[in-house]
Each structure stands twice: as structure tokens, then as C-alpha cells.
Structure 1
Amino acid sequence: MSTTAGTSEQLESSSTGPLSGLRVVEMGQLIAGPFCGQLLGDLGADVIKIEEPTKGDPMRQWGQAQVEGDSFWWSILGRNKRSVALNLREAPAQEIARKLIGSADIVLENFRPGSMEKWGLDYETLIEDNPGLIMVRVSGFGQTGPYSSRAGYGSIGEAMGGMRYIVGDPEKPPSRVGISIGDSLAGMFATIGALAAVRERERSGRGQIVDSSIYESVLGLMESLIPDWTLGGVQRERTGAILPKIAPSNVYPTKDGQWLIIAANQDTVFKRLCAAMGNPELAEDERYATHVPRGEHQAELDELVGTFSSQYQADELIDLLNEYSVPVGRIFRVEDMLSDPQFAARGSIVDVPHKDHGEVQMQNAFPRLSRTDASIRWSGPALGQHTDEVLADLGYDTSGIESLRTQGVIR
């Protein structure tokens, strides 16, 4: 596996990503806002993260696996960022933040709406010094509407946006995807909005506010959920491992006790599956010949495919279906990813140097660009690691920085 990281001092000179030269001040915490910062940093932006001085972003302590309280999750979410520890409850820290934002292209925050205004960092004030500033605001319910002032976590946005109701076993209560998908989607939509605003600024010279809510980010992925109900009278329900009337596309057993995904719901692909099954005439059966009747006979078709798949070892079945160009795949765990040749060939997982753990393996930066590729220059920094260098860039001398530290304004 390749190593793509460097030291923090190499940031501006070593970044060759497409956003190199763009400065982002990240003021959020947890996942939704910082994931946007991670994506922008992966693409080459200089991301300066402002954190509370005593414990910093809670993500420094979150995660299922930790060593001495150090979260591996933070190694990823904080990568390519410089950490500045400021106590924003103090007026001098607010002034530092305002100066820093004055030097930025984008300020990113995901506090409860009203927090930035309370600190004197509202958009109208900030653009007095920096009219081209883009403010990216990520929240549970958006900056407007009757719910805007409510606390909003990803799980609430997933429920309100329609995802939770349709995930899981139909015989059990609504379930969840095993990651913080709502927060991450809000961060991705925030990134799209930020890049769109940067592009528009090239024409107008003016910044604007990007308002990304968690519930709308989830809603944006919900396919035809709304017209299915309003025009078709169909409420989508929980369906477990299948999508209703998309067949055959399911998890199927193998002779050696494994499970494979086989996706042959397109007409031409289904014909190839039938040939691989040694039953090409099945593709001509009126119950299965085209998409709609296959969906109507989904359960019996899944039984046929499952009977076929059970006759083969997993490796044998994968080879057979690949020979017939039928999409098939294992359900990967991390150990499968680490030994898979596709992951290795593309450098999908990389080794990133870490000050305490030697190296941390993590997912690479995506998507891949042919000429100015994204990269991971370092893993999540220590709390306040870059405070002095960033303040020095803003014109603070050594004695001034020490005075701020003594006052508890910085760390």
C-alpha cells in the first residue's frame, strides 16, 4: 500500500490538488461540518480548524477502537487540517477568528443556528472585511423554518428525511445504516455547494451562504419516494436485503457457507445469468423475460437463483459469473479489503504516518483526478498543534501569543 502523507509544514507547497491555494476556516465539530472540511482538504485546500482549547472536537475521543483515548476516527476526519485552539467565548479569540476568516475563501460551521451571530461572526459582519467570503453552514434543519433553532443530529435527519423508515427487516422496527450516513451526506452536499459558490464567485466576485441541512441531504437521495406516494399511491416500506420488483438482485448462499451479491436485474444481464445457470430457456419464460414480470415473480426467482448458487463454492461461482459478465461480489469486511487486488492496484487504502502509532491505514482520498489528484498529506493533528504558526501568519508576535495563552484564549 502506498503512503501519500507528509508533514504539516509541507501543506501549502506540497498540495497539488485542484483546490490548492484555497483557504478554508473550519469552525464545526463532530461529523457533518468536519466531513466537508475533510473532503475540501483532500482536494488540496488549506483547512484551518478552530477548536475549543480543553478537549477540542469530540471526534478526538469518539470511535469503536481507541488507544489511550486517542480515536482512530479522528485520524481520518482531521486529516489534512491544521488545528488552532481558540476559546471563542473570549472576545480576543473572536477577534482572532475574525482576522483568520478575513484571510479565507470559505468559512465552514455546523453549530446550532445563532452561535456565529452570538460571537459577532455573522455573515454580514464578516463580509465587511471579506466580500468574497463563502460561508458554509451545516445544520440539522437548515438556517430557516420553524425547526431551525432545534438541535439536530444525523439520526434525526435520517428519520425526517425518509431513510430510517425504509431501512431494515419489515418484521422489525425501523433500523439504521451502520455509519453516520446523514451527517456524511450533509457534509457532501455542503462540499458541492461550496465548490459551486467558488465557481460562481469567479463571475461575480461575491461570496454567499451555502445552507446544507441534514434532513434535506437525506431527502435528496430518496429517489422517487415522494411521487411514488403522491402520484402512485405507494408508500415504500422496509424490505430487508431486496429492492421490491428489482429481480434478481439479492444476497445468495454458496456451498461453503458464504454469501454473494448477484445483480442480474437488467434484461440482457439476466439472459447471461440464465446461460451461466445452464438454463438459457429461463430467459424466454414470460414470467421472467422482462423487467416487470421478473419483479412480480421476485420471490420464486430468488429461490431459483439461490438453489443454483448453493451448488458452488464462492470462488467457483465468482469465476463462473465473471466469465458470463454477470455482476457478482463478496460482502467485504476490512480484512477482505486489505487482501483484495483491486484495492491494492488503485491504492484505495493507504498508510499514513501518525505521531503516536507509526502508521494508520485508512481509506484514500476520492474521487481520483488524472492530473491534480487528491491526497492525504497527514493524519488528524494534535489539538492546537498549529496555533502559533497560524497566529504568527496573522501578525501576532511571540509575546502577544504568550499573553493570549496565559489568558486562556488559546492553547
Structure 2
Amino acid sequence: MGLALEGVKIIDLSRVLAGPFCTMILGDLGAEVIKIEHHQNGDETRFWGPPFVEGESAYYLCANRNKESMTLNLKAEEGKEVFRHLVKDADIVVQNFKTGTLDKLGLGYKQLNEWNSKIILASITGFGQTGPYKDLPGYDYIIQAMSGLMNITGEEAGSPMKVGVAISDVITGLYTCIGILSALHHRQHTGEGQEIDIALLDCQISALVNVASNYLVGKTEPKRLGNRHPNIAPYQVFTVADGEMVIAVGNDQQFARFCNILELAELINDKRYATNRSRVENRSSLIPILQRELLKDSKQNWKRLFDEHAIPNGPIHTISETFNDPQVLAREMVIEGNHPHIPSLKLTGSPLKLSKSPVKVRHHPPLYGEQTAEILQRVGYTSAEIKEMKKNQVI
């Protein structure tokens, strides 16, 4: 059974998270991914820790499986020549250098297109290739701040908060995948490669979705609501007898069932709460009524009742509880792979479940420069030439 992207070759110049996360997904789908790292130090995330396992950082391991790693000095003329050999039969180059860096190296899209007219170049930056901020560095944290995401995250009376993972990087990686797959489809019909300009700020603003629309259409400044939803009620964290849980009532029918379970049938036809709109407008009086009833029983009992009556709900798991949850395990979201230094390396599984071309973990996250010699030999270099390159700090 073949893999969805089998035969697609990617040269990955990216590092940290957005680019590597994108290329890992493409690698999971079967693409050949050659990760090119700086000839003296490599991807920064190799050093981001603890934790480290046998010298490998957990951060690096999370986004670099199904790749080969080679080192290369792109500032050296011989290094550029090696890069040319790699590009001429590749499909995609992914890079996240600062705007203009590839052009300064003589390796921008115009040059790549001369070497390979079908090449697709995906360029990831903080702020994009145009605009007044194009030359500024843009890490995930900065983007969470500047996109408005932090200002709507956290308790109403508290400080703005970032999300617990580098969500702007993750979203950007996903958008970059979409762009690359779209460009491959376009090339299939036209024979043309193209350049994809992806900005973390653009991607995070797009991911504001309904909150952005609330502002653009409603002309009101969205505020922090803690664990409440700006457009739906009741849709938040509630305290129960032995802790907390999320209850997410998404429509009026669910609300009626929810009220019956709580023995609050009188709320169903109360004009203050009969529709979602009225519930949102009267949230301040509704929530205390619901909260009083929910304190009367445990998480386990409430979950059983809510599940029986199709009321969306869930416990607030720790990460350890998540990775031991029977549903998570049944969906193979924890996988074990081989690694030369780490016995039974555990990684997060892929959420992509394709019936005809399933995802497969074929390669462990590579050691720094692990396949350098092998890749060079594949494009025609001899052992003597490779030895000389190492001597000259080309690799």
C-alpha cells in the first residue's frame, strides 16, 4: 500500500517549529524530506531543554521524524553547488530565514527556478515578504502578542496570557502544508512551480476566526472571558463536588436536556434563557443557577448523565492523563519508534487517518548530520570529495 506523497522530494532549510512541523507532516504522508542544518550547530531546538534523552532534546524530537539530516554551509560556493544538485530534482524547498536571506545567498526563488522550473519554494517568516515589518524577526510568542490572541486569553480581570504551546507556529505549519499541497496540485495541471509567502502573523490572525468576525462585524473590542465562550452559553468550566469539568451546551435542544438533568426544567421556557442569544445576554444570572446545582454531584456521575443524554462535556486532563486515556490510545496517538540511541522512543501519533494511504513512521528523528555522506553520494559525490568538503567546512 503506497503512501500519499510517495515520490515527492522536499529540501527542508527550516528550523525551530513552524517549518519542521510542516515538513514532518509531509514526511508522515510519504514525502522524502532532507533536513539541511548549519554545518557547525544545527537546528536550535536540538539544544532546547531539558528534558534531553540520550543527548536528544524532547523539543527537537517532537517535529522531526521521517526526515534525513545533512549539514551544509550555504555561504560557501561549494555548499551552494551541493544545494543546486539537491534542488534540481526536488519538488519543494521550505525555508524560514529572515526575509531576503536566501536572495542574499544567491539562492532565492529566481535562482531556484532557473535550476528547476517546477520547484515550489515555501518561505515562512514572522511578518511576510512585504509590509513595514517584513525585516523584523517574529517568534511565536511575539506573534501571539501582536495578533491579539494574548489579549483575549486569560481571566477577565487578569493579565493577557499566551497559549500553553507555540500555537502560532503550529497553525503556520498547518497553513504551510495547505499551501504546498495546493501548489503541487496547481503544478500538476500547469507544470509551473511557484513561491508561497507564509507569515506567522497572517496565520494567527486567520485563526482568530469568530473573535475576529465579532470585531469586524460587531464593531466591538473582544475581551478576555477566561474559560467562557464569547458567543455561546453555557459553554465553560464549571466546578462540581470533586473538581472541575467543561460543559459545552451548543444549542437550544441540548440546553433543554441539560436543564432536565439538573432538575431545572423551569429555565427551558424562561425568556431570559430560552435561546442561545438570550443566554449569552443573561449569562451573569444564568451561570450561578447552574453552578449551584452542579456542586451537588461528582465529575464521574455528571459525566455519565451528560454522556447518556448527549450533552458535550469533558474532564480537564493533565498531560499524563491525556496520554493514558483509552480513546487516545485507541486512536494510536502515542506511538513507539526505533532510534539508534533511545530504546522504544515514544512520539505523538499522527491525527491523519487515511484509509488507502495511511501515515507511516519510516525514520526516527535524525541525529545531527546523520545522513550527510549518504545524501551526497546519492547526488554523485565520491568518498574523497566528501572528505575534502568536511576538511573545508562545507559540511
TM-score, with normalisation over the residues of structure 2? 0.96
For the residues of structure 1 that align with 2:316 and 2:288, how far apart are their CA atoms? 20
Residue 42 of structure 2: aligned partner: 56
- Structure 2 unaligned regions, length at least 5: none
Residue 93 of structure 1 pairs with residue 79 of structure 2: yes
- Structure 1 residues 141 and 308 mapped into 2: Cα distance closer, same or farther (>3 Å)? same
Letter of the structure 1 residue corresponding to residue 234 of structure 2: P
The answer to whether 1:144 aligns with 2:130 is: yes
Please list, as runs of the form range in 1=range in 2, the aligned pairs for 1:274-353 lying within 5 A after superposition.
274-353=259-338
Alignment coverage as a number of residue pairs: 395
Give the counterpart letter for 1:399 in structure 2: A
Distance 1:266 1:376, change over 3 A: same
Unaligned runs of 5+ in 1: 1-14
Aligned to 2:103: 117
Matched, 1:131 2:128: no
1:365 aligns with 2:327: no
- Equivalent residues of 1:33, 1:110 under 8 A apart: yes
| 2:196 matches 1:210 | yes
Moved more, 235-244 or 193-202: 235-244
Deviates more, 1:331-340 or 1:23-32: 331-340
1:206-262 per-residue CA deviation (whole Å, 9 max, x = no partner) reads 000011100000011112445533443201011111123421011111212x21110
What residue is the counterpart of 2:153 in the other structure? 167
**CA drift at 1:68:** 5.8
Query: 1:46: Cα distance to partner?
Result: 0.6
The structure-2 alpha-carbon separation of the partners of 1:252 and 1:40, relative to structure 1 and needing over 3 Å to count, comes to same
Aligned to 1:73: 59
| 1:174-202 deviation digits (Å, cap 9, x = unpaired) | 11001111111111111110000000001
| Structure 1 counterpart of 2:164 | 178
Structure 1 position 379, deviation (Å): 2.7
* Alpha-carbon separation, structure 2, partners of 1:280 and 1:173: 38
CA-to-aligned-CA distance 1:363-400 (integer Å, 9 cap, x gap): 11122111111222233110110111111110001111
| Residue identity in the other structure for 1:101 | V
Letter in 2 for 1:229: Y
- State which of 373, 383, 386 in structure 2 corresponds to 1:398: 383
Runs of 4+ in 1 over 6 A off after TM superposition: none
- Separation of aligned partners in 2, 1:353 and 1:60: 19
Aligned counterpart for 1:264 among listed residues 237, 249, 264: 249
Q: Which has the higher contact order (CA 8 A, sep 6+)?
A: 1
Two-structure CA RMSD over aligned residues (Å): 1.6
1:185/1:380 Cα in 2 relative to 1: closer, same or farther (>3 Å)?
same
One-letter code aligned to 1:296: E
Q: Is the 8 A contact 1:113 1:148 kept in 2?
A: yes
Contact 2:54 2:342 in 1 (8 A): no
Counterpart Cα distance in 2 of 1:54 and 1:181: 29
CA shift digits 1:250-301 (9 cap, x unpaired): 1111212x21110013111111111211233321111111111111121332
Query: Take 1:206 and 1:344, find their aligned partners in 2: how far apart are those partners?
Result: 42
Q: CA deviation at 1:66?
A: 2.0
AA in 2 matched with 1:66? F
Q: 1:88 to 1:255 in 2, by over 3 A?
A: same
Cα distance in 1 between the residues matched to 2:49 and 2:318: 17
Provide closer, same or farther for how the CA distance between residues 240 and 127 of structure 1 changes in structure 2, counting only shifts above 3 A. Answer: same
Distance 1:115 1:245, change over 3 A: closer
Structure-1 separation of matches of 2:290 and 2:198: 43
